[in-house]
Amino acid sequence: MFGRLKEDIRTIFERDPAAKSYLEVILCYPGLHAVICHRIAHGLYRRRWYVAARLISQISRFFTGIEIHPGAAIGRRFFIDHGSGIVIGETTEIGDDVTLYQGVTLGGTGKDKGKRHPTIGNNVTIGSGAKILGPISIGHNAKIGAGAVVVRCIPPNSTAVGVPAHVVGREGIDETYVDLNHTDIPDPLEDEIRELEKRIRELERKLFSID
């Protein structure tokens, strides 16, 4: 447990330039508090102590603003930046080295039993306010832009943006691939509109040249 705690603290220093000291991280980072409480709640949940597990998760939600169902399976070096408004559903599976920003929802789409929440691969970054809905998978090393609504599987090494989300690049496959720098993420709808405008101007030029 203490080994995992040290690993989580190191992860915060690696991914958050605002972290100044170990004391600050331990006392003032709600993402770290939520992860610690989830590990305890998840252990109880696996032992079928459901009420105790949910009670711990609800106390954690009250103090951190982060709701993680105790049934969710979360890997190592999980980092929540700020964290307010994050919701993670019961059957969610999260790999190692995943980063979530505030307002992310890993939720379901109905009342079906069984697997109904997303599976997130390793080294995935999900931007502020993104919604990942249903029993879909997000591949390893994928990036989800802020505000995206993802309802279909996203392949590995991809960047997805928009509502609904579209893949706008794949590392090693499409040279338009960008990291999760939101000032550089392309807008596929804007690109389509620009292409249509270009074609309309070309058609007008040809039409006027005939006249």
Q: Is the pLDDT of residue 30 over 60?
A: yes
Instruction: In whole angstroms, give the CA distance from residue 133 to residue 138.
Output: 11
Nearest of 189, 164, 168, 190 to residue 177 by alpha carbon? 168
Domains, the chain, ranges and CATH? 2-210 (2.160.10.10)
Q: Is the pLDDT of residue 211 over 70?
A: no
Nearest of 90, 87, 98 to residue 130 by alpha carbon? 87
Whole-number pLDDT of residue 173: 45
Please state, rounded to an integer, the average pLDDT across all residues of the chain. Answer: 86
Q: Average pLDDT for residues 161-168, to the nearest whole number?
A: 84
In tens, the pLDDT along 173-189 reads 443 433 455 556 666 66
In tens, the pLDDT along 109-136 reads 877 788 899 999 999 999 999 999 999 9
In tens, the pLDDT along 58-79 reads 999 999 999 999 999 999 999 9
Which pair of tokens denotes residue 180?
């999760």
Whole-number pLDDT of residue 19: 87
Q: Which residue has the tokens 């496959």?
A: 173
pTM: 0.78
Which pair of tokens denotes residue 63?
């103090």
Q: Is the pLDDT of residue 141 over 60?
A: yes
